[in-house]
Chains A and B, each alone.
Chain A
């Protein structure tokens, strides 16, 4: 048991990140190769100026009309995506672990704050689940895998929260926490989680077509 925990908290973390990076590189090359083989015109129409115009417009809260049509979902989604990075990256115990093993260290947030932010993430995910069930046009599009994605993201946050408070089965919580976190990292390049990398590019291309060819806004 001890050696298993040692493995998943040690080498497995690095293996996960390795798979993640290799996956991202592999998938990116796959897309670039496809562009070069079939759709070279994408380079012709891609415009740096209009790519950034579109990306910034879509990062500005409530600038796009679309986001104003669904203000609650958009707000929850915006906060959720920010916290998805902020919480794990600036969590004291994560940084402490890194410092211990690699002597890397950076700003950390107060544990009480992290606790609240974690709850916000968990409730956001709960909101997404309810929305997928309740809103007809979203429900129509929802597959079982969509709930699966939510669960995969939720697990590390829920188990992290429970482990921190040591409510019960502390050791198991930590094990599930670490494993589910690693699972999420590994899955990113190979599932629709990859939108994390692709979204800026799809936005950029549409922004370029709208901006430089069609002289219109795309938000």
Chain B
């Protein structure tokens, strides 16, 4: 099929020509009619007042640029500024009424999926508060409907769709992993349990699928903390145990909603009082802010708290006591989805001060943090995009280096993986840890005695 639609592409727009099989094969299947139909369907039928007003209100002042770590990491190249990305994608789609070329779409996939972390920092820098991340999500939605989503993240979504977890973890493997961790832990801690499907427990603990897949030690640590604190908790055996949600980032809102619903329905079936989730940022965004809305719950139907909230409570209430403070100098990375996404940055700092002897701030911080570069599904686009992702986050390495800290606390899985790459690539000598790692190391590991 001959592609009759052309655009004037500058060679520069292909500076990072990455071959992504999912994108290439998807593009090969497209026809000009399909392209314009899908784009116009999304832009006219799936958008509303926000989209219209954002497009008609932006005065192209460029103030959003300074928010973006990807823009800053690329020596202030205008193509990487938030509004610049909108101009190169959405605005051109509107202007051409959806009649865009395949090359344009290839660039749009790259921009929306790998050069924007949908971290929402730019809406804090826009005087009008325009939600540019939402505009990028719309581009991803269009890519999803055109079936040109990057291969690796699409595979993750396929896994969500088939198994309700993001890593093709089978049900028996999941249960087996929990029982294996319980067995190991019982050798060190008498009577420790990882209670499965305990009806009416106070807490349902949910994790992301990479934990059972290859970081089972994190479940072990949490079990020890729960045990020491004497919590009445449980983990579900059925699908719904995974709180992660990559469909939210590919614009596959239907799957995204199913994931959030499965998570809450699992909690409801177990009659738990609340859900505590592990140290993950995007999963929190999905359950607290995005997936629930798609299902029709304005706010979470079951109380949902992030591990920071939970650990903070355990530490300040004295249910977990610090035996000896952590000695090494630490710094703290604020994950977008729980600082800008839930304002947990101050509690995180209080925890650092309870747990560690020496703390250095990185700047900017709290709501103004730089993203880890992995967030928003960027790292999930996989190996083809890894090199570009690391270049796109040079600014973070500069920020980390300035702290001179030995240990970097990052209470989010995505941030962890992204920061590992940054630390490794830029040769920073830094260990990266979760709050759970530090708590496990410094806590009094004795069984909590209930006075009653």
A: which residues have CB within 8 A of B? 30-32, 34-35, 37-39, 41-42, 44-45, 54, 58, 64-67, 69-70, 73, 77, 135-143, 146, 192, 194-195, 198-199, 201-203, 205-207, 210, 213-219
Say whether B18 faces chain A, with CB atoms less than 8 Å apart: no
Question: In the complex the two chains form, is A34's CB within 8 Å of B49's CB?
Answer: yes
A157 to B424, CA, bound (A): 58
Closest residue to B65 on the A side, CB-wise? A137
- Chain B residues whose CB sits within 8 angstroms of the CB of A205 once the complex forms: 50, 129
A197 to B299, CA, bound (A): 30
- A contact patch SS: helix
Question: In the complex the two chains form, is B293's CB within 8 Å of A41's CB?
Answer: yes
A65 to B364, CA, bound (A): 10
Say whether B162 faces chain A, with CB atoms less than 8 Å apart: no
Question: In the complex the two chains form, is A195's CB within 8 Å of B128's CB?
Answer: yes
B contact residues, total (Cβ < 8 Å): 48
A203 to B54, CA, bound (A): 11
Residue in A65, A198, A199, A216 whose CB lies within 8 Å of B340: A216
- Chain B residues whose CB sits within 8 angstroms of the CB of A77 once the complex forms: 61
Question: In the complex the two chains form, is A198's CB within 8 Å of B50's CB?
Answer: no
Question: In the complex the two chains form, is B57's CB within 8 Å of A194's CB?
Answer: yes
A143 to B58, CA, bound (A): 12
Question: In the complex the two chains form, is B50's CB within 8 Å of A137's CB?
Answer: no
- Chain B residues whose CB sits within 8 angstroms of the CB of A42 once the complex forms: 49-50
Say whether B145 faces chain A, with CB atoms less than 8 Å apart: no
Closest residue to B123 on the A side, CB-wise? A206
16 other contacts beyond A69-B66, A137-B62, A202-B54, with CB at 8 A cut-off?
A31-B52, A34-B49, A64-B127, A65-B124, A66-B124, A66-B126, A137-B84, A140-B84, A198-B53, A203-B127, A203-B129, A205-B50, A206-B129, A214-B343, A216-B340, A217-B367
Question: In the complex the two chains form, is B129's CB within 8 Å of A218's CB?
Answer: yes
- Which of B60, B131, B299, B364 has its CB near the most chain A CB atoms (within 10 A)? B60
Residue in A65, A73, A206, A216 whose CB lies within 8 Å of B131: A206
On whether A38 and B49 interact (CB within 8 A), knowing A65-B125, A137-B65, A192-B57, the answer reads yes
- Chain B residues whose CB sits within 8 angstroms of the CB of A69 once the complex forms: 63, 66, 125
Closest residue to B66 on the A side, CB-wise? A69
Say whether B130 faces chain A, with CB atoms less than 8 Å apart: yes
Q: Mark B103-138, 1 if CB is under 8 A from A, else 0.
A: 000000000000000000001111111110000000
Q: Distance in Å from the Cβ of B371 to the closest Cβ of chain A?
A: 15
Question: In the complex the two chains form, is B123's CB within 8 Å of A218's CB?
Answer: yes
Question: In the complex the two chains form, is B53's CB within 8 Å of A201's CB?
Answer: yes
Question: In the complex the two chains form, is B56's CB within 8 Å of A34's CB?
Answer: no
B165-223 with Cβ < 8 A to chain A: none
- Chain A residues whose CB sits within 8 angstroms of the CB of B57 once the complex forms: 192, 194-195, 198-199, 202
Q: Mark B34-60, 1 if CB is under 8 A from A, else 0.
A: 000000000000011110111011111
Closest residue to A218 on the B side, CB-wise? B124
- Chain A residues whose CB sits within 8 angstroms of the CB of B129 once the complex forms: 54, 58, 202-203, 205-207, 218
Q: Distance in Å from the Cβ of A171 to the closest Cβ of chain B?
A: 35
- Which of B49, B57, B63, B126 has its CB near the most chain A CB atoms (within 10 A)? B49
Q: Distance in Å from the Cβ of A14 to the closest Cβ of chain B?
A: 27
- Chain A residues whose CB sits within 8 angstroms of the CB of B83 once the complex forms: 141
Say whether B325 faces chain A, with CB atoms less than 8 Å apart: no
Contacts A/B (CB < 8 Å), 13 sampled = A39-B48, A44-B298, A66-B125, A69-B63, A70-B66, A73-B61, A137-B65, A141-B83, A142-B60, A195-B59, A198-B53, A198-B128, A215-B342
